[in-house]
Chains A and B, each alone.
Chain A
């Protein structure tokens, strides 16, 4: 049986909540405990409210979970927002000198700390966080050593800082253990050697591993973490990292580098992706490999810069004018971000086309523990059909019409293999046909040639697989990151005796049409996704002719928790065919509604 505790840390931006969360995550990871972190924050540098949720468990976790059962309120606002969400058994830690809790829900243990007394009058305000963290660690039953060693690691070069933190944390730890009841859940230490990573780190690392040598970007949340990683690691890994004037420049520069044979990449979010779209078609018609990441956030327009949504699928499918082959992949978890990067660079070069990766805020800015072994994957670099040296061919045609549609690619610089590439339609030699009177034969041949390339792609995918109760007649279908919460929801339902399977898609274009039909035809299909319009449900219908029997959707900015999906599916099984769920906890809302709220506005269409 898994034991887990979800901790919430609330404060204003600039209060140091983030580092308190990091320290707790690291302390947990050091004990072999698995952690999944998601932060709800505002798009500002100081003030506002941020709520860091850490799900800590002695077995692997795939998502943020649902019920917070331990909280640290770093200010009054956090207390007011979140205390009423707590249920019996929860603990609530706060600076008793400054924060007034009001009436706690039944069975919630209030743990005020006399911070002035514990930290000393002259202590920096930030020390209240350390005292609180010490207290929490004590009430979670951790060894104090696990926490103090994190301070030693973090402030390696500053022994006085280590000492100040250890002293303050120990004061909180001892006071709490002496004064309050420990949390009822006991987390069992494990031997797992764990690291804490953001999805953005993993996307960047995956790209580096796959051989990415040019990375271009313009800052945009929630993709900026990739730029920061690249900027600080490019030097040692030999990656050229460029911040460009805008996303139009970014895309064109990345493709320019791709044209010269570099594995190149760029990343952005929806708005920046919109600016890149003309260039995506250019990579399509010039058959230039490039990997482009869109870390989705709430749209449209500037939308919700710091909130989760899976709403850019239509945009990715429709990016750029005309028909041309593209590949679209949506990683399903933080660990999968690594695999997807490997696959994307290989596919881009093998099929000489743009590969669009749809990550999202939940994965990219969320972070979780991973075992180091996930890096030891079987992965071979496949650059596709490349000509790197003069092979004596006196009649090289860059866009040769071949049975597979793939034309062997020369990297400029090879003697006797000159070619031109054009954004205009061109013939096999690359010479434009855009200005001739008309050339229907060549036009059709070239369109067909490019389209034919996509026929091979699906064979390179990992086949689809049903999860959960595979024999069930009801299948929950998700794409991308919703896999995490949905797989847990399905597991819970199966445990409750509700027969339901789960099918998760990560390869969106070209689509695994035949497999999807084989697995879904004749079943009750429930599509669960994070957008209003049902973009994936529509995609499934368009690509496989399968119409969802019911849909569970969320588009309020906060990610799915397993409970939302469990409840949503139950509503569906009662007869609803559209359930739009919402996070209703007081903390998510301004102004706070009276009393606790949980979930679910169900409606029928």
Chain B
């Protein structure tokens, strides 16, 4: 596909002309639009940007983006994207996928991606169901809950992705809502600009299978603290004085306090749903850790590291290595 290079880069430059087949009213539309806007506002050349997607309704995002894209396997978007970023750290990489993809079948990779602190944003579209396979319970659906797609209520407890991310070492953790375009876009930009592994969990209505947590439900006001006080269900914690950003990563007291607060916030359950930046810390990224171990990586990305001369003869010098085996 030829790129639709335009200067300045507008949202249109990131829209592919592939036919979109999400259901009307699907939260994924909101997420796609916010991703496209974020790329445009960050001014990222489409050929230096890559969107990696898992499998699910959510995974179709890559098709609708006019950047490089890869539709990986179900649950494997993270290791694939990590491999790609490892190979070429100069590319801007965003991974996207569903809650089943990331927190279910891909849960092992989810945990270990956090430990590596790869510089990428991972956006998970949390709709509490396996949308593409027609509405089975995903790992974020609570126990006892029964969507219209389920013959019986769910028997498992829901995982708390943000708490799991915190335990796993993600260095930026946030939540947003698919139909709060403004907040979502800002959060995507923050996640992308964060140097390290960012998890952005996005609450995503699935009107087709999830009749419990619909757009109306998210938009509904609920009882507040005061008598007769009604407040929005989805509320921005950062606007209410919560600050989860660690200022000094070497200050253990600060780190411990912020992590504890973030853990409490990540596990919060109630009528109201907190969104915003839960935790943020600056730690060496995967590239930096690799460069510290393999000095040649400071000069070259693995994808550009030379290993042949002009006549295609190998240039990797193994003679010293071979001597280790000579006696």
A209 at the interface (CB under 8 A from B): yes
B73 at the interface (CB under 8 A from A): yes
Is the beta-carbon distance between B71 and A416 smaller than 8 angstroms? no
Binary contact readout B283-316 vs A (1 if CB under 8 angstroms, 0 otherwise): 0000000100111110010110101100111101
Cα A201 to Cα B321 with chains together (Å): 10
- B307 contact set on A, CB distance < 8 A: 210-211, 213, 263, 381
- B71 contact set on A, CB distance < 8 A: 420-424, 432
> Main SS of chain B's interface residues?
mixed
Given A262-B87, A264-B87, A435 contacting B21 (CB threshold 8 A): yes
A18 at the interface (CB under 8 A from B): no
- B66: contacting residue among A380, A418, A423, CB under 8 A: A418
Is the beta-carbon distance between B303 and A421 smaller than 8 angstroms? no
**Identity of the chain B residue whose Cβ is nearest the Cβ of A367 in the assembled complex:** B325
Is the beta-carbon distance between A418 and B3 smaller than 8 angstroms? yes
Interface with B: A236-244, A475-483, A584-592, which one?
A236-244
B159 at the interface (CB under 8 A from A): no
Q: How far is the CB of A278 from chain B (nearest CB, A)?
A: 6
- B40 contact set on A, CB distance < 8 A: none
**Identity of the chain B residue whose Cβ is nearest the Cβ of A154 in the assembled complex:** B327
- A242 contact set on B, CB distance < 8 A: 86
Is the beta-carbon distance between A380 and B47 smaller than 8 angstroms? no
Q: Number of B interface residues, CB 8 Å?
A: 65
B91 at the interface (CB under 8 A from A): yes
**Identity of the chain A residue whose Cβ is nearest the Cβ of B88 in the assembled complex:** A260
Is the beta-carbon distance between B86 and A253 smaller than 8 angstroms? yes
A317 at the interface (CB under 8 A from B): no
- B47: contacting residue among A194, A413, A424, CB under 8 A: A413
- A415 contact set on B, CB distance < 8 A: 3, 5, 45, 47
- A235 contact set on B, CB distance < 8 A: 293-295
- A259: contacting residue among B63, B84, B305, B321, CB under 8 A: B84
Q: How far is the CB of A91 from chain B (nearest CB, A)?
A: 24
Cα A419 to Cα B46 with chains together (Å): 10
Given A253-B82, A418-B68, A29 contacting B87 (CB threshold 8 A): no
Given A214-B86, A418-B47, A418-B66, A394 contacting B294 (CB threshold 8 A): no
Given A153-B327, A210-B314, A379-B313, A412 contacting B91 (CB threshold 8 A): yes
Is the beta-carbon distance between A256 and B327 smaller than 8 angstroms? no
- B312 contact set on A, CB distance < 8 A: 380-382
B76 at the interface (CB under 8 A from A): yes
Given A234-B294, A242-B86, A416-B3, A150 contacting B327 (CB threshold 8 A): yes
Within 8 A of A (CB), among B90-122: 90-91, 108-109, 111-112
**Identity of the chain B residue whose Cβ is nearest the Cβ of A210 in the assembled complex:** B314
- B63: contacting residue among A379, A413, A420, CB under 8 A: A420
Binary contact readout B231-250 vs A (1 if CB under 8 angstroms, 0 otherwise): 00000000000000000000
Q: Taking each of A249, A263, A416, which has the highest tally of chain B beta carbons within 10 Å of its own beta carbon? A: A249
- A257: contacting residue among B62, B63, B302, B322, CB under 8 A: B302
A267 at the interface (CB under 8 A from B): no
- A211: contacting residue among B1, B5, B290, B308, CB under 8 A: B308
**Identity of the chain B residue whose Cβ is nearest the Cβ of A150 in the assembled complex:** B327
Is the beta-carbon distance between B303 and A416 smaller than 8 angstroms? no
Within 8 A of A (CB), among B69-90: 69-73, 76, 79-84, 86-88, 90
A97 at the interface (CB under 8 A from B): no
Cα A282 to Cα B75 with chains together (Å): 13
Q: Number of A interface residues, CB 8 Å?
A: 80
Is the beta-carbon distance between B5 and A260 smaller than 8 angstroms? no
Is the beta-carbon distance between A201 and B69 smaller than 8 angstroms? no
Cα A262 to Cα B297 with chains together (Å): 13
Cα A98 to Cα B78 with chains together (Å): 58
Is the beta-carbon distance between A246 and B108 smaller than 8 angstroms? yes
B254 at the interface (CB under 8 A from A): no
B18 at the interface (CB under 8 A from A): yes
Q: How far is the CB of B111 from chain A (nearest CB, A)?
A: 8
Is the beta-carbon distance between A256 and B66 smaller than 8 angstroms? no
Given A209-B316, A259-B70, A418-B66, A195 contacting B322 (CB threshold 8 A): yes
Q: Taking each of B46, B86, B91, which has the highest tally of chain A beta carbons within 10 Å of its own beta carbon? A: B86
A409 at the interface (CB under 8 A from B): no
Within 8 A of A (CB), among B183-233: none
- A240 contact set on B, CB distance < 8 A: 86-87, 290, 294, 297, 302
- A430 contact set on B, CB distance < 8 A: 1
**Identity of the chain A residue whose Cβ is nearest the Cβ of B71 in the assembled complex:** A422
**Identity of the chain A residue whose Cβ is nearest the Cβ of B132 in the assembled complex:** A435
Within 8 A of B (CB), among A207-258: 208-211, 213-214, 216, 233-240, 242, 244-246, 248-250, 252-258
- A381 contact set on B, CB distance < 8 A: 307-308, 312-314
B48 at the interface (CB under 8 A from A): yes
Cα A261 to Cα B88 with chains together (Å): 9
- B86 contact set on A, CB distance < 8 A: 214, 240, 242, 253, 256-257
- A423: contacting residue among B55, B108, B303, CB under 8 A: B55
Is the beta-carbon distance between A248 and B313 smaller than 8 angstroms? no
- A382 contact set on B, CB distance < 8 A: 312
- A238: contacting residue among B72, B73, B81, B300, CB under 8 A: B300
Cα A381 to Cα B305 with chains together (Å): 14
Cα A394 to Cα B1 with chains together (Å): 8
Q: How far is the CB of B169 from chain A (nearest CB, A)?
A: 13
Is the beta-carbon distance between B108 and A286 smaller than 8 angstroms? no
Q: How far is the CB of B193 from chain A (nearest CB, A)?
A: 20
Other 13 A-B pairs with CB < 8 A, given A256-B86, A413-B88, A415-B45? A195-B327, A213-B87, A216-B83, A233-B321, A252-B109, A257-B83, A372-B326, A381-B314, A412-B50, A412-B91, A420-B62, A420-B63, A435-B60
CB-CB nearest 8 A-B residue pairs? A256-B83, A253-B83, A211-B307, A238-B296, A422-B71, A260-B87, A420-B69, A195-B325
Can you show 13 pairs from A to B with CB atoms below 8 A apart?
A30-B327, A211-B308, A236-B321, A240-B290, A242-B86, A245-B109, A252-B83, A260-B84, A381-B308, A412-B84, A416-B2, A417-B3, A418-B47
Taking Cβ atoms with an 8 Å cutoff, the residues of A that contact B are 26, 29-30, 150, 153, 193-197, 201, 205, 208-211, 213-214, 216, 233-240, 242, 244-246, 248-250, 252-264, 278-279, 282, 286, 372, 375, 379-382, 394-397, 411-424, 429-432, 435
Taking Cβ atoms with an 8 Å cutoff, the residues of B that contact A are 1-3, 5, 18, 21, 45-48, 50, 52, 55, 60, 62-63, 66-73, 76, 79-84, 86-88, 90-91, 108-109, 111-112, 290, 293-297, 300, 302-303, 305, 307-308, 311-314, 316, 318-322, 325-327
